[in-house]
Amino acid sequence: MTYLEAINGVLLRMRLSQVSSWDASDYTKLIGQFVNEAKREVEDAHEWHALRTTIDASIVATDTTVTFAGTSERTRVIQVFNDTNNTPMFPRPRNRIVYLRNVGSTSDARPDWYALSGYNASGEITLDLWPGSDGAYDLTLDCINPQADLSSNNTRISIAPSPIRLRALALALAERGDDQGQTFAQVMNEYQIALNDAVVRDQDNGPDHEAWVVP
């Protein structure tokens, strides 16, 4: 489902005319905002397979941090790998890394530990590394990386669209205060059912799903 199709789906349920562009009017822009709010809520409700990805970054000698471009404050770190050495890196409390940097003598080596340091000016994840790097390494972040806010008619929604459309409809009904025969509670119930069903389907596609083969 595209951004425009989601907006038109909400308009249809509200008995309003469909549009050819998300920015056709101030009201369709508002519905588009509700779609993005709903998308963020649904994305945060589950670790969707469609949002799992790997992002690469490189460090050089003396580096003590690494930033992964294309991440955001909503990115969830699963694991970090040293791709150059084909080894996993290990999460540690940041206060432990700060302690080691400031107590006793230190020397650069291959970084094996990491901790979330914060976010740069663009909102991208920055990790503290320990020890400081003794050379050039390629690092890989395995993460859940939510889709950016939708802003183009034909951009496809990466995860299950049905709960997003229903949650956006509920937001629109609450804002308008005129349900035209549809109650907010009714739509929220539809949303919860659609979200639960989508999560179960996504889990069924995971490695823990048992596939039975009958000869």
- pLDDT per residue as tens, the chain (215 positions): 999 999 999 999 999 999 999 999 999 999 999 999 999 999 999 999 999 999 999 999 999 999 999 999 999 999 999 999 999 999 999 999 999 989 877 789 999 999 999 999 999 999 999 999 999 999 999 999 999 999 999 999 999 999 999 999 999 999 988 655 668 889 999 999 999 999 999 988 876 544 444 44
The tokens for 13 are: 């349920």
The tokens for 142 are: 């395995």
Residue 7 near residue 154 (C-beta atoms within 8 A) = no
d(CA 91, CA 129) in angstroms, rounded, equals 10
In Å, how far are 22, 49, 52, 205, 213 from 210, measured between CA atoms? 42, 17, 21, 10, 10
Q: What is the DSSP letter of 109?
A: B
pLDDT of 212? 46
pLDDT of 120? 96
d(CA 6, CA 163) in angstroms, rounded, equals 10
pTM for this entry: 0.87
Residue with tokens 């937001």: 171
